[in-house]
Amino acid sequence: MPIDIKSQSREELQARFQSWEQPVYRVTQLLEWLYVRRATSWDAMTNLPKTLRAQLAEAFSLQSLELVRKQGSRDITQKFLWKLADGALIESVLIPANPALYGEASDRHTLCVSTQVGCAYGCKFCASGLDGWKRNLTPHEIVEQVLATERWNETETKAARPSAGGAPAAAPETEAAESRLINNLVIMGMGEPLSNYDNLLPALRLLNAPWGGGIGARKITISTSGLVPQIRRLADEPEQFRLAISLHGATDEVRQRIMPVNRKYPLKELTAALEYYQEKKDRMITFEYILIAGVNDALEQTQPLGALARHLRAKVNLIPYNKVEGLTWQRPSEEVCEGFLAALEKQRIPATLRREKGGDIDAACGQLRLKTERELAPPLGTMAPA
């Protein structure tokens, strides 16, 4: 399979076009087809000469994600299940910034994207790791989650609009730019983004580029379970991406119980890497802390958590656990969650408690995929003999 065109940087495309003796402006035209108009076929690129289109088709693939399932309705959190070229399933979650006006294209949203099929890190509470790790996503599969979601939105918006009459139709390129939906990214879907570093960074650069996704680096948050060497590597990159750490435990004892990664990178090493990150970036770090009943929700845990947050000037994001089918972990009561928040606030730690919206549509990462794969799997005993 040839490399996908949406895995290529502008520089790579320029070099290729130069070797084909194509003028530079052709690259600009191509990029507009890919990232502004979100074309899904070479034939659609009508202002490129046919011979060039044929050359491109021979050198690159042009894949788009196929929507297989969607949960949630317009104006609330929506979850997309995509099928990749090899049949693997991944998820993205679209979160509105504020109550959207029906059919209003100017409303901006956050997209939560996946970086791997499955996850190798096996956190005990998480649906993404339940069936293990299958493969890394390529840069274009990461980028396509944004484009495919925007394509879907464009179709929906058009369908919702009253039929033409009155104002003349906008030129296609204005329309595509207007319908740009996503201005915020959280890399918190399926997979451990920093273990797919070499595909993640090119993808984020394509999404960040003004000629690409146009999403500001400060509006891109990478969430990690705490891969120490890659946190240091990220600190040395020029971009100002935001960093979120899935902490979920403020002592090695608690963290180890639910996150095997803590054996490899215990809190002392993680803390040192985060100190380095802050030194280089001077940016606020976020701690994600899922509240799981009887595991990490005791009030005394707010002491080490508060101390760590103060030391690293981190903000704490408390998330009541989202039940995963087949796992026995439970979300604490509302009072326990509110009490935990209050104890952090008493220490003057900036903290928020997510009062879940997506819980009812399996919004936590990996859950829709797991459910769909299990539904699609042939019942035991019906598999054809090998």
292 near ligand SF4, rule: CB under 6 A: no
Q: Which residue type is seen at 164?
A: A
Catalytic option among 32, 365, 373, 375: 365
Nearer to ligand SAH, 22 or 223 (CB): 223
From the list ligand SAH, ligand SF4, none, pick the one residue 105 interacts with, judged by a Cβ distance below 5 to 8 Å according to partner type. Answer: none
- Is 246 a binding residue for ligand SF4 by CB under 6 A? The answer is yes
Candidate residues 192, 262, 301, 370; the one interacting with ligand SAH per rule CB under 6 A:
192
> In the annotation, is 119 catalytic?
no
Task: Work out the end-to-end distance of the chain between its first and last CA atoms, rounded to an integer number of angstroms.
Answer: 27
Q: How far apart are CA 126 and CA 258, in angstroms?
A: 9
Using CB under 6 A, which of 361, 364, 368, 370 touches ligand SAH?
364
Confirm or reject binding of residue 241 to ligand SAH (CB under 6 A): no
Q: Quick check: 136 binds ligand SAH (CB under 6 A)?
A: no
Span of 21-29, 56-64, 94-102, 220-228 interacting with ligand SAH by CB under 6 A = 220-228
DSSP string covering 260-327, please?
THHHHS-HHHHHHHHHHHHHHH----EEEEEE-TTTT--GGGHHHHHHHHHHHT-EEEEEEPPP-TT-
* Residue 3 φ/ψ region, left for φ over 0, alpha for ψ in the -120 to 50 degree band, beta for the rest: beta
- Per partner kind, with CB cut-offs from 5 to 8 A, the member of ligand SF4, ligand SAH, none near residue 63 is none
CB-based contact 271:232 (threshold 8 Å) = no
- Identify whether 91 is a catalytic site residue: yes
Residue 358 near residue 77 (C-beta atoms within 8 A): yes
Tell the residue number behind the tokens 């052709």, with chain if given. 26
DSSP H helical segments within the chain, as ranges?
Answer: 10-19, 25-31, 50-59, 139-160, 172-178, 197-208, 228-235, 252-258, 261-264, 267-281, 302-312, 334-346, 367-376
Partner whose footprint covers residue 321, from ligand SF4, ligand SAH, none (CB < 5 to 8 Å by kind): ligand SAH
Of 126 and 270, the one with the shorter C-beta distance to ligand SF4 is 126
What does the alpha-carbon distance between residue 368 and residue 142 come to, in Å, rounded to a whole number?
A: 18
Please tell me whether residue 286 binds ligand SF4 under the rule CB under 6 A: no
324 binds, among ligand SAH, ligand SF4, none (CB under 5 to 8 A by kind): ligand SAH
Does 35 interact with ligand SAH (rule: CB under 6 A)? no
Q: Does 187 bind ligand SF4 (CB under 6 A)?
A: no
Distance CA 353, CA 106 (A): 28
Q: Is there a contact between 292 and 125 (Cβ–Cβ < 8 Å)?
A: yes
**Interaction between residue 115 and ligand SF4 (CB under 6 A):** no
Query: Closest Cα to residue 182, out of 113, 127, 132?
Result: 113
Gap between the Cα atoms of 81 and 369, Å rounded = 7
Q: Pick the stretch among 1-9, 96-104, 119-127, 294-302 that binds ligand SF4 (CB under 6 A).
A: 119-127
Given ligand SF4, ligand SAH, none, residue 117, with its beta carbon under 5 to 8 Å by kind, binds none
Which of ligand SF4, ligand SAH, none has residue 332 at its interface (CB below 5 to 8 Å by kind)?
A: none
Residues of this chain that interact with ligand SF4 (CB under 6 A) are 119, 121-123, 126, 128-129, 191-192, 225, 246, 365
Residues of this chain that interact with ligand SAH (CB under 6 A) are 125-126, 188, 192, 223-225, 246, 288, 290, 319, 321-322, 324, 364-365
Where in the sequence numbering do the catalytic residues fall?
91, 365
